[in-house]
Structure 1
Amino acid sequence: MAELTPKERLQPSLLDRLTDEEPDKAQESREQRVLSMNRLRLGVLRDLAWLFNSTRMPESSAIERYPFAAHSVINFGLPPLSGVTARSLDVNALEQTLRQVIIDFEPRILRQSLRVHA
């Protein structure tokens, strides 16, 4: 593996650090402890896929009375979209929802750099 510059030496996410791909090994290799920009990007894409494939509580649920809980892992994912037709979908509202969900649950994407377009 080529030597990474200090800017490229990125630490894996907590989930990746807690996930042991090789439990029989007592010590991790350098490749497992330090991420390249490409591996970071792949990890973010994987986590976004998990986020977009998770369903949070419906908007009408009691959690909306608790704003901190509404933006916590208790409410991880997108609002339920099953049964919604393309014709009845408000594209602008969906863009805003996607943006807010990414901001709430993916801290590796900077808020000011995020653009969501349908």
Structure 2
Amino acid sequence: MVAVEALRLILLYVHLVGFALLLGGAVAQLVSGPIRINKAMLWGAVVALLAGVGLSAPLRDGDEPAPAKIVTKLVIALLIFVMVFFSRKRDEVNRGHFLAIVGLTLVNAAVAVFWR
């Protein structure tokens, strides 16, 4: 089971890198000028979503997260991905739309941390 735990930790690391890309790209865009979806945000949304799906696989012996938590995180991650993907080619994104992406990203992280 050491290999399975190593795989889970690698997926968790990749998931966190995706989160950092998404949130870091958003913060950089907020302070740099016109609000747009940058490549870091797009890649972060994709990486976080795919690694999160991998993390939801039953890799542990009875220590899996609750199905409700997995579904909640999946729905939020899909919303983030759709909002980022379909806004990526716009010259400027509505501020409310952009802040919703940031807010949903933070909510998804909060669900991961506080829901036990």
Normalised by the length of structure 2, the TM-score is 0.31
Q: Which structure would you say has the larger Rg?
A: 1
